[in-house]
Chains A and B, each alone.
Chain A
Amino acid sequence: MIGESYRQKSENDLVRASLDGDKQAFGEIVTRYQNMVARTVKGMLGDSVYSEDIGQEVFIKLYHSLSDFRGEAKLSTYIQKIAVNLTLNEIKRRKRFFTTFSQKGNNEMHEFEVADHDSEERKDASELVNKALMRMDPKFRIIVAMRMLQGYSTKETAEILDLPLGTVLSRLSRAQEQLKNILGKL
């Protein structure tokens, strides 16, 4: 099987093949990392069609910048950085939109993002996580998404977010406090 042979290839082999125009190789990269990107993007933006669009943008941007990938870091870290940057840009764009069109600003944004879920009665684990994350301050949300959903250490989180380790540690501690309060109300 052709697909099987791609599944056994290393990250660097897939990158090289993709750069040579091998569609199947890039498809394998998408298959391998789409759930990781989904955890970051949906964890940050909520479960909506916008998240799917941002997810697609992540891989399109990856394709554009594959020639810049030198293989010094893991491909997953490289993709994660793209996902975080695009997601943060989307959050900024939404914040600008809601600040412009609403007096309530940030609070309105949270209500908008969780509206789909509030209409359902189902309270499964994904929904609870989503609700809690959407009620968090975005600067804490990204730290929580990295640790809670991706299982990254503080060092890896600092590397992906380009933040000092001390900042990650202090935000993690404050995020935990905020999460306790939010979960207490859910």
Chain B
Amino acid sequence: MKVTDFKELLIRSLDIENDPVPVSKKIEEAGATFSFSEGFRDKVLEKIYSSGSAVVREVEFVRSLNSVFYRIALSGAAAIIILLISIYMIQGSFSLDSFLGLGNGYDESIICLLTGN
């Protein structure tokens, strides 16, 4: 392919009306190929799987941390739900006083409670 034709093909590849797949294939067939050096795959695998690799250990640590986090989060959510139900059953509402345990208290009794008199 002549250089001028190739340049024209490159410009046409950006036409919105054109199907990009056949044009990009033509560009590749004309010699515009991009690849990594030989042994690229092995280099990547060596970096990831080399014995005692920090990468593998880090991934395993993150995975175990995630699983522990999910368990803690689920237990926490269950505890919050149980607490809300018990508050509602005891106090009969979700007001601020109910949360503070002051739903049925009188001012005098609180003062007695705080001062001890």
**Measuring CB to CB, which residues of chain A are less than 8 angstroms from any residue of chain B?**
23, 26-27, 30-31, 34-35, 37-39, 42-43, 47, 51-52, 55-56, 59-60, 63-64, 67, 123-126, 128-129, 132, 144, 147-154, 169, 172-173, 175-176, 179-180, 183, 186
Contacts and interface: CB of A to CB of B under 8 A. Distances in A.
A12 to B, nearest CB: 19
Nearest to B24: A151
A42 B34 contact: yes
A125 B36 contact: no
B10 A179 contact: yes
A129 B41 contact: no
Nearest to A144: B14
B24 A147 contact: yes
Given A147-B14, A176-B11, A183-B10, A38 B34 contact: yes
Tell me the interface secondary structure of chain B in the complex: helix
B34 A52 contact: no
Given A64-B55, A123-B3, A129-B27, A26 B45 contact: yes
Tell me the interface secondary structure of chain A in the complex: helix
Contacts of A23: 45, 49
A128 B20 contact: no
A37 B16 CA distance: 24
Q: Which of A26, A43, A47 has the most chain B CB within a 10 Å cutoff?
A: A26
Interface residues of B, number: 39
A52 B42 CA distance: 13
Given A151-B21, A151-B24, A151-B25, A125 B35 contact: no
B45 A150 contact: no
Contacts of B45: 23, 26-27, 30
A26 B37 CA distance: 18
B13 A147 contact: yes
B66 to A, nearest CB: 8
Given A59-B48, A126-B33, A149-B34, 19 more contacts: A23-B49, A30-B41, A37-B36, A38-B35, A39-B34, A52-B40, A55-B36, A56-B44, A60-B47, A123-B3, A124-B31, A125-B31, A126-B32, A144-B14, A147-B24, A149-B32, A151-B24, A175-B14, A179-B14
Given A34-B35, A52-B40, A153-B20, A125 B30 contact: yes
15 contacts: A27-B41, A27-B45, A59-B48, A60-B55, A63-B55, A125-B30, A125-B32, A129-B10, A129-B32, A147-B20, A148-B23, A151-B22, A151-B23, A173-B16, A180-B11
Interface string B1-22: 1010011001101111000111
